[in-house]
Amino acid sequence: MSFTKTSDKKAEGAAKTEPKVKKIKGAEKTLAFQVPKGMHDVLPADQPWWNRTRRAVEEMAATYNFLRIDTPILESAELFQRGIGEETDVVQKEMYMLKTKGGDVLALRPEGTAPLVRAYLQHGMSRLGQPLRLYYEGPFFRHERPQAGRYRQLTQAGFEIIGGPNDPIFDAQVILVFDRLLKYVKIGDVVLKINSIGCRICRPFYKRQLQTYYKRHEQKLCADCQRRLNANVLRLLDCKNENCKPFKEHAPNFLDKLCSACSQHFKGVLEYLDELGISYSLDNQLVRGLDYYNRTVFEMMVQQGPGAELGALLGGGRYDYLFEELGGRLTPAVGGAVGYERLIEAMKAQKVNLPAKNQKRVFVIYVGELAKRKALKLTEQLRSAGLAVTEAFGKESLRAQLKIADKEGFSLALILGQKEIYEESVILRDLRNSLQENISMSKMVDEIKKRLKEK
């Protein structure tokens, strides 16, 4: 099996080169191996942020009745070529592809919507109650140039509403879920950018107008824009090249050219958002980097200040035609996906406080060899009674164990020594004021629970 990124077949030989030796700041010694470029370890210290994010996604899914779906990390490369579009950066430059020994060409999934539609069609999910609300989360891969908020392995959660009528209420509902999610994790100063990119009827007219406009400036455009002028002119509105920016500003506005059905739909979305009190900013240059969208497209980002440098925290839109593209029938669908890494960076940049740790835990301390043996069994007894228990087996001195309990923020400790074993009792110590009391072992669980409840 060999991996290549879409545009860089030269990388095929890279595995044969020696790993670079680099001294890492804070590491124990010079290391031969590091995490691959653009990818990250999530260390224990960062896990509370990740737990918070996963928890928020789970909460939103439960609140708005989305059912979980998991699809494989590898899919047929053609699924993305057909689904996302041959002319997109994701397909042209960013896909990690591999050829199996059997000759199949697979890709590490760069996004979740095309796999979700593949699964919906494959499992005949149109037979289930429609619209179907599905969500997913997990790792995705894009061979992008790493920079702030842009990685090669990224984590997304997507919320999708599939099937049923083509009703703007569902566009608004997807946006509502994300709006609520950002509020849940307490990210502030967020702007919702929204646009409509029409349908099969009005889009060709708009594209022709856009082409005519850009052709007048063709020589001054960047190489990518020159190439896309004929192949996929909408992408020009998405170009980040400084030279192309002035032309974008004066480009014709799609919102003026929408057919009446698309115009009605977009008006409907905005009215629902007004009703929900979700403010938005119309952005006629928002076209998104994936070709499957029609009508509504949206992104949310921090408007200014800490977190604004990260770009879009999430994005999505309607993709009614994707089902036909992948062999099914026209099916109304709308959804979006949020990037965990950007969400976490925004939370940190805005100095969001994580909710206080659950303090309902007890720290078990032993003094002496006999007590150590008993303590192992005692901790299990406490766990079976539903208590969260921590110990520091291996640290023999009372002082060392107390120090750890203190450092980890425990308020209650249970101390077991030889005397207590003979008396069938334990010492309960309040670590905040050092007051302690001898309790019979038979009453231990109830007493601990009572004390933890009082805190």
Site residues (CB under 6 A) for ligand HAM, limited to 359-398 = none
Beta carbon of residue 163, minimum distance to ligand HAM (angstroms, whole number): 14
Beta carbon of residue 363, minimum distance to ligand HAM (angstroms, whole number): 39
Pull the structure tokens for residue 286.
């928002």
Beta carbon of residue 87, minimum distance to ligand HAM (angstroms, whole number): 15
CA angle 110-116-122, nearest 5°?
125
Binding mask 300-339 for ligand HAM (x = CB under 6 A): ------------xxxxxx-x---------------xxxxx
Beta carbon of residue 253, minimum distance to ligand HAM (angstroms, whole number): 22
Strand order in the sheet with 96-99: 2-5, 96-99, 105-108, 74-76
Bridge partners (DSSP) listed for residue 133: 161
213 sits in which H/E element: helix 203-215
Residue closer to ligand HAM by CB (options 193, 429) is 193
Which position among 82, 133, 142, 265 is part of the footprint of ligand HAM (CB under 6 A)? 142
SS3 state at 390: strand
Beta carbon of residue 387, minimum distance to ligand HAM (angstroms, whole number): 39
Residue closer to ligand HAM by CB (options 163, 335) is 335
Question: In whole angstroms, how far apart are CA 361 and each of 8, 63, 416?
Answer: 53, 29, 17
**Residues 8/117, Cβ–Cβ less than 8 Å:** no
Residue closer to ligand HAM by CB (options 315, 332) is 315
**Residues 280/270, Cβ–Cβ less than 8 Å:** yes
- The size of the interface with ligand HAM (CB under 6 A), counted in residues, is 28
SS3 state at 455: coil
Which position among 342, 361, 374, 429 is part of the footprint of ligand HAM (CB under 6 A)? 342
Q: What is the dihedral of CA 147, 150, 155, 156, to 10 degrees?
A: 160
Site residues (CB under 6 A) for ligand HAM, limited to 109-138 = 111-113
Beta carbon of residue 174, minimum distance to ligand HAM (angstroms, whole number): 8
Binding mask 61-100 for ligand HAM (x = CB under 6 A): ----------------------------------------
Phi, psi at residue 354, to the nearest 5°? -75, 150
Residue closer to ligand HAM by CB (options 100, 281) is 281
What lies within 8 Å, CB to CB, of 314 at 6+ separation is 178, 182, 299, 300, 336, 337, 338, 339, 343
Return d(Cα 114, Cα 322) in angstroms, integer. Answer: 8
Return d(Cα 452, Cα 446) in angstroms, integer. Answer: 10
Beta carbon of residue 265, minimum distance to ligand HAM (angstroms, whole number): 16
295 sits in which H/E element: strand 294-302
Return d(Cα 455, Cα 446) in angstroms, integer. Answer: 15
Pull the structure tokens for residue 90.
């994701």
Binding mask 282-301 for ligand HAM (x = CB under 6 A): -------xx-----------
Beta carbon of residue 94, minimum distance to ligand HAM (angstroms, whole number): 8
DSSP H helical ranges for 281-368: 322-325, 340-349
Which position among 150, 248, 360, 451 is part of the footprint of ligand HAM (CB under 6 A)? 150
Beta carbon of residue 441, minimum distance to ligand HAM (angstroms, whole number): 53
Q: Count the helix, strand and coil residues of the chain and give each as a percent rounded to the nearest 5.
A: 45, 20, 35
Which position among 160, 171, 179, 320 is part of the footprint of ligand HAM (CB under 6 A)? 160
Return d(Cα 150, Cα 144) in angstroms, integer. Answer: 7
By CB under 6 A, tell whether 154 contacts ligand HAM. Answer: yes
Beta carbon of residue 111, minimum distance to ligand HAM (angstroms, whole number): 4
Residue closer to ligand HAM by CB (options 198, 339) is 339
Binding segment for ligand HAM (CB under 6 A), chosen from 118-126, 147-155, 344-352, 371-379, is 147-155
Return d(Cα 355, Cα 93) in angstroms, integer. Answer: 40
Residues engaged in binding ligand HAM (CB under 6 A) = 111-113, 142, 144, 149-151, 154, 156, 158, 160, 289-290, 312-317, 319, 335-339, 341-342
